[in-house]
Amino acid sequence: MPTLRRPFNGPKAANSSLGMPSNRFRLPNRMVELTVDLAALQYNFRQLRQYCGQKVKILAVIKADAYGHGLLPVAQVLAPAGADYFGVAYCSEGVSLRQAGITLPILLLMGVLPEEAAEAVAHDLEVTLFCREMAAALAAQARQQSKKVKVHVKIDTGMGRLGLLPTELMPFLESLGEFPELELAGLISHFAASDCCDRSYTHQQLADFERLLKGVRGRGWAVPASHIANSAAVLHVHQAHLNMVRAGITLYGSPPSLETPSPIPLKPVMSLRTRVLQLQELPPGCSISYGRTYFTDKPSLIAALPVGYCNGYSRLMSNRGCVLLHGQRAPIRGRVCMNLTMVDVTEIPGVKKGDMATLLGEDGSDRLTGDDLAAWAETISYEIYCMMGNSNYRRYIGN
């Protein structure tokens, strides 16, 4: 047993100590400043806590490096703020949290591969379970390490993604009797359309989940945690809270979709700023950037900004989006390049080299939100945050 555990209790990875940012980027980038406001994060969590009440557990979803906001800094704010559980996608994320000293329950939302079972058990990670191979691998490792593993059995009630079909649930649970090392800690399902105005499908999924839950409890399983609600259901489907909710995007300050605005106030957490690198005065008829997709139609003042798609600023923003300069909107001209984006500041008086430009966040009385950028890039705020947050050095404020 001790030999098995040693590899996982060995020296901590260099970047897992508390003082280091959980960035791939070890040095600040003075040209591109991505800021994460931890006070806003804490505010959003408190709003959610107030809205859900004390009886409902909150699983804070911090997969994908906390939607680009940084796994460890976010966990270190949310744990003392009162999160009950953390949810991550990969085993490695759970291990990073344990190495940083996080002791809260951690759920691996996508389960584990058989070869990850030893690590998951050694670090007391809870596992989303939906197949026999995973159950067998976890049980074998638990036996070897003289431990128990908590599992949350996943049912696909209509998401069409991950989990057992409703008809498979009972036989699967019965078959787990073979593995006394596994402890049923919860039943989990996921909504497919809780962010749509039409909630009929969501109510159907919820009814199916509750029926299955009742059946399982009726056969004598305790099922400590039952959870199906993502942010949209947390905000809009109170009956779906059950005894635990899984909140992701709302923590980071965005509504799950524009179709259903948030009933509680949320503060944006991430912002992205840069500086004017160069100003060009161009006559009419000049093309801007690769492919010559934009031509000046009058004498124009064009600012080059040292940010591009390598910073998670999508090339789909070309000729669509805008940035804030001196609190005013400057439209993007031509294609967004790998490290450069050109904006038109002809209408904004007094712009100088070195002036700050805001790509995401507020400047003066105006603000560009994750949803604004998402609309220009034909995506959702989730992807904007993941792409920007995980492509830049993150600076933390508000803590």
Ligand X SMILES: *Cc1c(COP(=O)(O)O)cnc(C)c1O
Q: Say how many residues touch ligand X, by CB under 6 A.
A: 12
Nearest distance from C-beta of residue 234 to ligand X, angstroms:
7
Nearest distance from C-beta of residue 369 to ligand X, angstroms:
16
Q: Assign residue 336 a region: left if phi > 0, alpha if psi is -120 to 50, beta otherwise?
A: beta
Nearest distance from C-beta of residue 251 to ligand X, angstroms:
8
**From the CB of residue 210, how many other CB atoms can be counted at a distance below 10 Å?**
16
262 by Cβ neighbours in 10 Å (0-12 / 13-18 / 19+) ranks as buried
Stretch that binds ligand X, among 28-36, 215-223, 248-256, 372-380 (CB under 6 A): 248-256
* Among candidate residues 77, 64, 91, the one with its CA nearest the CA of residue 312: 64
CB nearer to ligand X: give 249 or 276.
Answer: 249
* Residues between 207 and 246 with contacts to ligand X, criterion CB under 6 A: 230-232, 246
Nearest distance from C-beta of residue 381 to ligand X, angstroms:
10
* Residues between 308 and 347 with contacts to ligand X, criterion CB under 6 A: none
63 tagged catalytic: yes
* Residues between 10 and 29 with contacts to ligand X, criterion CB under 6 A: none
* Residues between 75 and 114 with contacts to ligand X, criterion CB under 6 A: 109
Nearest distance from C-beta of residue 200 to ligand X, angstroms:
19
Rounded CA separation 385/74 (Å): 14
Nearest distance from C-beta of residue 351 to ligand X, angstroms:
37
| Both structure tokens of 62 | 């911090």
| Both structure tokens of 103 | 């002791």
CB nearer to ligand X: give 140 or 264.
Answer: 264
Q: Assign residue 237 a region: left if phi > 0, alpha if psi is -120 to 50, beta otherwise?
A: beta
Which position among 70, 94, 163, 248 is part of the footprint of ligand X (CB under 6 A)? 248
Nearest distance from C-beta of residue 161 to ligand X, angstroms:
9
CB nearer to ligand X: give 142 or 251.
Answer: 251
| HSE value, Cβ hemisphere, 13 Å, CA-based, for 396 | 19
Residue 69 interacts with ligand X (CB under 6 A): yes or no: no
CB nearer to ligand X: give 201 or 290.
Answer: 201
CB nearer to ligand X: give 21 or 256.
Answer: 256
Element of type H or E holding 139: helix 132-144
| Both structure tokens of 305 | 């900004």
Measured on CA atoms in the order 352, 354, 358, 362, is the torsion positive or negative? Answer: negative
The answer to whether 161 is a known ligand-binding residue is yes
Cα dihedral angle (45, 50, 53, 56), rounded to 10 degrees? -10
The answer to whether 292 is a known ligand-binding residue is no
- Which letter does DSSP use for residue 321 in this model? -
Binding mask 26-45 for ligand X (x = CB under 6 A): --------------------
Which position among 32, 58, 60, 61 is part of the footprint of ligand X (CB under 6 A)? 61
Query: Mind spelling out the 3-state secondary structure of 28-92?
Result: CCCCEEEEEEHHHHHHHHHHHHHHHCCCCEEEEECHHHHHCCCHHHHHHHHHHHCCCEEEECCHH
Residue 163 interacts with ligand X (CB under 6 A): yes or no: no
* Residues between 360 and 389 with contacts to ligand X, criterion CB under 6 A: none
Residue 249 interacts with ligand X (CB under 6 A): yes or no: yes
Q: Which of 90, 290, 393, 396 is catalytic?
A: 290
309 tagged catalytic: no
Q: Which of 63, 150, 294, 382 is catalytic?
A: 63
| Both structure tokens of 61 | 């979803």
CB nearer to ligand X: give 246 or 333.
Answer: 246
Pairing type for strands 244-247 and 57-61 reads: parallel
Q: How far apart are the first and last CA of the chain?
A: 41
**From the CB of residue 86, how many other CB atoms can be counted at a distance below 10 Å?**
26
From the annotation, which residues make up the binding site for substrate? 161, 338
Write out the catalytic residue numbers: 63, 290
- List interacting residues with ligand X (CB under 6 A): 61, 63, 109, 190, 230-232, 246-249, 256
From the annotation, which residues make up the binding site? 161, 338
